[in-house]
Amino acid sequence: MDYENIVVEKDGAVGIITLNRPQQLNALSYDLVKELAVAVEALDQDAEIRVVILTGGEKVFAAGADIKEMADAGPFDERLQGRLSFRDRINKISKPIIAAVSGYALGGGCELAMSCDIIIASETARFGQPEINLGTIPGSGGTQRLARTVGKHRAMEMVLTGEFIDATEAQRLGLVNQVVPVELLLEEAMEIAEKIAAKPPLAVELAKEAILKAFNSPLDEGLEFERKCFYLLFGSEDRREGMKAFLEKRKPQFKGK
């Protein structure tokens, strides 16, 4: 597929997707979200790729869903409804996905960042759920993921006032992993991506799945799932290799098997 609204690159085992509608502050149009779903799935299935980075570049991550496009939509508008299935596809990626956020991450943009597994922010990053100013509310997980991450009271404040928080505040609230100068954003995201890419892929995949399970299930169920994943990994060659290499005091050679 030729992409018009995003740029997809590969750097070793890392796939990098850059949102590319700068004139509209990377507003998430239907076409952009569709391309994103296709690109994320393609990288997820690409055997060379171990980790994905999602960024909007240095100026802006994404100023939300495209308001022009939504302005006249009815509740059953196909393009409005269709967005949800694309978003679900993005959320289902089995490889780790790192958001590298600079500038505005608002509305659907903030939700997109929150649906990633790790968020690295530049000092210029601004997060917000301003949908209330448009007479609506977050619709792609903003009320749920934000509340689970920053707690009820701060989520209420952000969603009900629509005000933005800066990168420092986002880090203080646990919304982002790290804050770095703009010029180091991609470098830092790459560094983390490469660290993860060097780990045994099956363990990475199951670790991600197990952590996500913590948000979707009671503790007992999550613990049981974790235990099953743990046992399952004892069937992998990489688990044998990891332990053998430790005992032989050498670097493990992981094969993803």
Asked about 131 being catalytic, the answer comes back as: yes
**Residue 66 in contact with ligand DAK, rule: CB under 6 A:** yes
Q: Which amino acid does the sequence have at 64?
A: G
Length of the chain: 257
Classified as helix, coil or strand, 40 is helix
Considering the complex, state which of residue 70 and residue 196 has its C-beta at the smaller distance from ligand DAK: 70
**Residue 34 in contact with ligand DAK, rule: CB under 6 A:** no
**Residue 91 in contact with ligand DAK, rule: CB under 6 A:** no
**Residue 196 in contact with ligand DAK, rule: CB under 6 A:** no
* 251 Cβ contact partners less than 8 Å away, ≥ 6 residues apart: 245
Classified as helix, coil or strand, 32 is helix
Whether 109 contacts 140, CB under 8 Å: no
Pairing of strands 126-128, 165-166: antiparallel
Among the residue ranges 51-59, 100-108, 112-120, 185-193, the one whose residues contact ligand DAK (CB under 6 A): 100-108
* 188 Cβ contact partners less than 8 Å away, ≥ 6 residues apart: 100, 120, 178, 180
**Residue 159 in contact with ligand DAK, rule: CB under 6 A:** no
Rounded least distance, CB 13 to ligand DAK, Å: 31
Tokens of 91: 């959320």
**Residue 158 in contact with ligand DAK, rule: CB under 6 A:** no
* Active-site residue identified among 35, 69, 109, 111: 111
Give the residue numbers marked as catalytic: 65, 108, 111, 131
Residues that bind ligand DAK (CB under 6 A): 24-25, 27, 63-68, 80, 83-84, 104, 106-108, 130-131, 134, 139-140
